[in-house]
Chain A
Amino acid sequence: MSEIVPPEVRPKPVVPAKPSHVAPHSSGPFVPSPQGTGGEGRGSALLGYIGIDTIIEQMRKKTMKTGFDFNIMVVGQSGLGKSTLVNTLFKSQVSRRTTSWSRDEKIPKTVEIKSVSHVIEEGGVKMKLTVIDTPGFGDQINNENCWEPISKYINEQYEKFLKEEVNIARKKRIPDTRVHCCLYFISPTGHSLRQLDIEFMKHLSRVVNIIPVIAKSDTLTLDEKTEFKQRVRKELEACGIECYPQKEFDEDMEDKSDNDKIREAMPFAVVGSDKEYQVNGKRVLGRKTAWGVVEVENPNHCEFSLLRDFMIRSHLQDLKEVTHNIHYETYRAKRLNDNGGLSFQTGATV
């Protein structure tokens, strides 16, 4: 996979739409596309080429050197294909699959939080990907408050970051363990959301970016899929649950239209697989059943490619930004207000 994806960082420079004369760099045939968005204020006409637009290139070089963190949490009942989906998303065995249930791997009595980190590299860009799994969620007979351990974990990460930030001698780059994105797996009953789903999302949509996905969607025919999605969307609206991308954070019309398109297609009906099969001479990722092969990356079969493009190719940075600027800030403000001051040296625990 040496395909280079131009990083769609959303810059706010006042760059007039002028083709750049930047010579190609040694790092690859990269041509910075003029991103003339966000023209705030009046762009004064430049009398010559200054070179402000090389900032994109500079940012890119920096990012490549430092790499970046991305933390994704997967929540859902056992057996919904969470680990398989994460593996499919990042095309590598980032999550240990629990297909073979030996007697030691019983369903845990309480929700556990297991996080596994990998460093994956693509096109010179290093990403430290952390997958946080939540085995035991929703599997008991009595599932009251099974979201509490998860909520606690997320707040702990915010707390860690806050502590680092408030330090007098700060590290140059604070390790970011905050959860940037939470994929919530909805069971494909075809009827509506379960009570547990609604409760979880109510409690956590204000704390973290939730992206609901319909798991194992090869159970549903096309009609059932559209109906189910509509019903889920209506229910989410009725309960006042805002999933990512949140409407209130749309910055301009372009954002809004993009995000509206995404919101119409949510929740994504996905199928995960890491096995390859031959279909029409091509090797595709899929699931082979007695009546056909479900192709994972075929948009007619399931919406996995939509989800992947959305999450990784277009909104990855935005997920991080929303987490940092909004969720973390909310936490921070609450924390500082509650304490009435900074008393972190004493190790105040939340």
Chain B
Amino acid sequence: MKVLTVTVCSRDRWPPTCFSFVVFCESCLLKPLTVFVFVLQQQKNLEGYVGFANLPNQVYRKSVKRGFEFTLMVVGESGLGKSTLINSLFLTDLYSPEYPGPSHRIKKTVQVEQSKVLIKEGGVQLLLTIVDTPGFGDAVDNSNCWQPVIDHIDSKFEDYLNAESRVNRRQMPDSRVHCCLYFIAPSGHGLKPLDIEFMKRLHEKVNIIPLIAKADTLTPEECQQFKKQIMREIQEHKIKIYEFPETDDEEESKLVKKIKDRLPLAVVGSNTIIEVNGKRVRGRQYPWGVAEVENGEHCDFTILRNMLIRTHMQDLKDVTNNVHYENYRSRKLAAVTYNGVDNNKNKGQLTKSPLAQMEEERREHVTKMKKMEMEMEQVFEMKVKEKIQKLKDSEAELQRRHEQMRKNLEAQHKELEEKRRQLEEEKVSWEAQQRMLEQQKLDASRYTHVNKDTPEVC
């Protein structure tokens, strides 16, 4: 059998190491045989130890040093056990018992609240952000109660987009919402119109993982039916919930299949520890038994925890980054370039090249400096004025004092004058008196003299 023609067609699906040859046999021209040949890739065997097998360790060490971030959003009506579930998942009291429960929080509109907690385990740090939406679905009229949630997610995307577009982007905190746990009330019937509306609006923005809350309400049969019903409705409304990625690894794909079969996960949350048959387990104590949280037959809590934290956390972040964020970004940039540059002033910088951006930054910097200069000048002037004022004041003060002293002096002068006058007067009067006296004396002496002279008549 001679090989006449060989057509090589490599199928993309197969690992690239597999090619198929169509062999035409000489003797049987009518029957081409397709022979599958597996060709191993050219692997070079190393002689000696180079050491790049250590690469994963380096990456690992770097990321451990950096720490991880994860943002989880919980959405659902109040009273569905969201806070309890978060506490159970992360084994911390993020929502302590003193945290005001929904009965104390009277919310007229849906709020979006963030709480951050830094958890450490085995040397690895996780900055966990929980975004809560109290008031969702609680009012009588719940139209547009999803709007605050959408706004929040979009604003986080925007922040990241701006941070990414900056020239200096050493620090890029990732606060985008990586995963949204949506709590479905265990009615046993199906999704409510509110659930459908919410998921339809958010499945393109965030990874939605639907959960059946308070699953200890349902018996196993009811639970199965309910899950089927929900999945049917989700498919009917074409809602894209988070899809688990396909893996080549056999074990992992088995795990993934197991998770997929049990979607949406029926969870029970609790942090109270109860003794059951000598074992201490977390669960809820009823008069008819104990519903264990970590028992796979009672609820799907362990599956959720493993999936969310132990196996798929990185994948959730990747999907958020590669799919949802890119969707947002392309939509945003397309909108801006379509509508012209002046669509939004602060978005304008996205369309400029880095040089232009640098120019602008420089300009910004210059204006800032100018402003600062002006301010400083102003301050300086003000200070100068103040000083002048002060000097003037002290001058006036001195002047006044000078005046006063002068007046004093004059007064004293006058007084002295007065006294002198008086003295003069006195002197004059005294002199006058003296003269008079003298005169009198003279007169007296003359009189006696006269008397002596005229010894006559007496």
Q: Is B389 in contact with chain A by the CB < 8 A criterion?
A: no
A77: which of B187, B288, B292 is its contact (CB, 8 Å)? B187
B287: which of A141, A188, A289, A300 is its contact (CB, 8 Å)? A300
Known contacts A101-B190, A218-B286, A221-B284; is A291 also within 8 Å of B197 by CB?
Answer: no
Place the interface of chain B in its size category.
35 or more
Q: For the complex formed, measure the closest distance between the CB of B390 and the CB atoms of chain A, giving whole angstroms.
A: 65
Residues of B within 8 A of A (CB): 77-80, 101-103, 138-143, 185-190, 192-194, 197, 214, 216-217, 219-220, 225, 229, 284-292, 295, 297-298
Q: Cβ of A101: which chain B residues have Cβ within 8 Å of it?
A: 189-190, 229
Q: B139 contacts A195, CB within 8 Å?
A: yes
Q: B216 contacts A293, CB within 8 Å?
A: no
A107: which of B141, B193, B216, B288 is its contact (CB, 8 Å)? B193
CA distance A142 to B189 in the complex (A): 20
Q: Cβ of B287: which chain A residues have Cβ within 8 Å of it?
A: 222, 298, 300-301
Q: B187 contacts A78, CB within 8 Å?
A: yes
CA distance A67 to B79 in the complex (A): 44
Q: Cβ of A192: which chain B residues have Cβ within 8 Å of it?
A: 102-103
Q: Is A178 in contact with chain B by the CB < 8 A criterion?
A: no
Q: A107 contacts B192, CB within 8 Å?
A: yes
Interface members, chain A 266-306 (any B CB < 8 Å): 287-295, 298, 300-301
Between A and B, 16 residue pairs with Cβ closer than 8 Å are: A79-B188, A141-B143, A141-B193, A143-B142, A189-B77, A189-B78, A190-B79, A219-B217, A221-B284, A222-B287, A287-B219, A290-B295, A291-B298, A294-B286, A295-B288, A301-B288
CA distance A192 to B102 in the complex (A): 8
Closest 8 CB pairs of A and B: A79-B187, A189-B79, A292-B289, A291-B289, A292-B288, A192-B103, A79-B189, A191-B103
State the main secondary structure of chain A at its contact with B. loop
Known contacts A142-B143, A288-B219, A289-B219; is A294 also within 8 Å of B197 by CB?
Answer: no
Q: Is A98 in contact with chain B by the CB < 8 A criterion?
A: yes
Q: For the complex formed, measure the closest distance between the CB of B297 and the CB atoms of chain A, giving whole angstroms.
A: 5
Q: Cβ of B192: which chain A residues have Cβ within 8 Å of it?
A: 107, 139
Q: For the complex formed, measure the closest distance between the CB of B159 and the CB atoms of chain A, giving whole angstroms.
A: 30
Q: For the complex formed, measure the closest distance between the CB of B192 and the CB atoms of chain A, giving whole angstroms.
A: 6
Q: Cβ of A221: which chain B residues have Cβ within 8 Å of it?
A: 284-286
Known contacts A79-B187, A199-B140; is A187 also within 8 Å of B79 by CB?
Answer: yes
With a 10 A CB-CB cut-off, give which of B78, B80, B103 has the most chain A CB atoms.
B103
CA distance A142 to B229 in the complex (A): 23
Q: Is A132 in contact with chain B by the CB < 8 A criterion?
A: no
Q: B102 contacts A79, CB within 8 Å?
A: no
Q: For the complex formed, measure the closest distance between the CB of B109 and the CB atoms of chain A, giving whole angstroms.
A: 13
- B103 (CB) vs chain A CBs: closest residue: A192
Q: Is A196 in contact with chain B by the CB < 8 A criterion?
A: yes
